[in-house]
Chains A and B, each alone.
Chain A
Amino acid sequence: MSQESPNTKESKAYQPTPEQLARWKRLDENDGAIAGRMPPEEEQVRIFKEFLETDYVTDQLERVRAHKEKLLNKLKSAEEYEQFLLEKIEERK
């Protein structure tokens, strides 16, 4: 026995108002979404030229290595402090 497939068009019963239709159309037309502050125009030009002139992967690798170095320095500092505190506890004994 075959089962009748539902008519998806008929199941979509909602009838939008003209205002909703106009708003949905505008949302679709304007959906190139960007939010947030933009840098000053000269800075935008510099950033765009940097985008054209640099290799993304190499640039990202340099940045992530610089960040990793900072994190390693922070870790080293935390480890030194930890050692200092352990020595203080040892001195108390």
Chain B
Amino acid sequence: MNEFSFVTGMTREIREGLALWNEKAREYVETYYQRNEESARGTRFYRGVVKTRTITNNLSEIEEEKIIRSVFDDQNLLASIAVIQDTSIFVEEELVDCIEIESIVNSPWNLIKYPVPEKRKGAGTAIVEGIIKENRGKGLSRILKLFAIPEEKIFYSDLGFTETDGSGEMILSESGAAMLLSNLDQKRESDTFD
């Protein structure tokens, strides 16, 4: 099982990482999609480029108003980035504190379907795990909320998120988060995914 280091806030390494994502994504478009937008359209890689661009186009505003979290892999490469914010949601008619994951996007090498050497599986799981552990470290145990497009719902369901109203909004309850952490510990203790 690949291990990742969790980073809070914006750093020079993240800025360098995002510049590298752009460079590598352009290389992949050349190599695998004939530098053609239409050839890449509809792929997870394509959505990742768009999502990354929506973050980098507003990076200064995001830094001012929101919270940035990221994970780096064993090559010291930026593997995934998340934009989160504190919010509240109603659960059984009660307003409770919640962390909204506004965006998550993995590096282009972790999104492209081709077997590129930089690829390290598990970055998406690691960033969600990091956010949960960071909150627990502060003595908080808050619900996580995010929006998942249909193609990504299965991933978040397997992490323990449940859909709220069919719109794509999904939440991970406190007990769901505890189960995810326990499950990941069990995965580390097994030799199945070494």
Contacts and interface: CB of A to CB of B under 8 A. Distances in A.
B149 A34 contact: yes
Contacts of B26: 51-52
B111 to A, nearest CB: 4
A19 B51 CA distance: 32
A34 B190 contact: no
What is the size category of the interface that chain A forms with chain B? Answer: 35 or more
B7 interface: no
B19 A12 contact: no
Contacts of B106: 31-34
Contacts, number: 145
Contact of A14 (B56, B127, B190): B190
A52 B101 contact: no
A21 interface: yes
B125 to A, nearest CB: 6
Interface string B46-70: 1111110110110111000000000
Contact of A34 (B37, B48, B60, B189): B48
Contacts of A23: 158, 183
A60 to B, nearest CB: 7
Contacts of A35: 82, 101, 103-105, 146-148, 152, 156
Contacts of A6: none
Interface string A44-64: 110111111000110010011
Interface string B8-43: 000000000001001101100100000101001100
B192 A16 contact: yes
A67 B60 contact: yes
B110 interface: yes
A34 B51 contact: yes
Contacts of A48: 37, 40-41, 46, 49-50, 53
B103 A36 contact: yes
Given A34-B44, A37-B147, 18 more contacts: A16-B186, A21-B192, A24-B187, A26-B154, A27-B122, A27-B158, A30-B152, A31-B124, A34-B105, A35-B105, A36-B104, A44-B41, A48-B50, A48-B53, A49-B37, A51-B26, A64-B59, A67-B60
12 contacts: A13-B189, A14-B190, A16-B186, A20-B183, A27-B125, A28-B121, A30-B152, A33-B110, A34-B47, A47-B49, A47-B50, A52-B26
